[in-house]
Amino acid sequence: MNFLPVLRELALAYQSFERYSAPDIKVMGLTHTQFDIIATLGNQPHMTCKQLGEKTLVTKGTLTGVLERLEMKGILERKLNPEDARSQMIGLTKDGQQLFEKVFPHHVAHLEKAFGKLSVDEMTEIQGSLKKLRAIF
């Protein structure tokens, strides 16, 4: 059970990230999930719900409700998929793209304050370790 300290540090690191990141997103009037979707759709062509789910950290059950709320706010739009009428293409509206252009650089700059404390070598090492950890599951 020598993995328990690793598990604890992983959980604590994620909680620390959330405590640092969430207030910045909340000030912008968004939830983490909404930000994740807007950041994924920003400057991108429309994509299917399946593609969006694969590119975000949002579960399918949560995704549907969040998409509906963002659509009601005029931030995103849905169109029929010309290649498959059973699915829809999802993308940002003009207002949604403007929101992306405002909030994405702001939040990246906020995160840079924390990640900037690490060297390139340290970030590369951490990324490699996290990839290895993910691969075992």
R_g of the chain, CA atoms, integer Å: 17
If pLDDT is split at 50, 70 and 90, which confidence band does 1 have? confident
Q: Is 84 helix (H, G, I), strand (E, B) or coil?
A: strand
Tell me the CA end-to-end span of the chain in Å, nearest whole number. 16
What pLDDT digit, counting tens, does each position of 112-137 carry? 999 999 999 999 999 999 999 999 99
Domains of the chain are 4-107 (1.10.10.10)
Q: What is the mean pLDDT of residues 30-41?
A: 95
Q: Is the confidence at residue 35, as pLDDT, over 90?
A: yes
Residue 41 has pLDDT above 90, yes or no: yes
Alpha helices in 32-93 (DSSP H): 32-41, 49-55, 60-72
Query: What per-residue confidence (pLDDT) applies to 59?
Result: 85
Confidence check: pLDDT of 4 > 90: yes
The pTM of the full predicted model, rounded to 2 decimals, is: 0.87
With beta carbons less than 8 A apart as the criterion, state whether 69 and 31 touch.
Answer: no
**How far is residue 120's CA from residue 110's CA, in Å, rounded to a whole number?**
18
State residue 136 phi and psi, 5-degree precision.
Answer: -75, -15
How confident is the model over 58-107, as pLDDT tens digits?
A: 888 899 999 999 999 999 999 999 888 888 999 999 999 999 999 999 99
pLDDT score at 37: 96
What are residue 80's DSSP bridge partners?
88
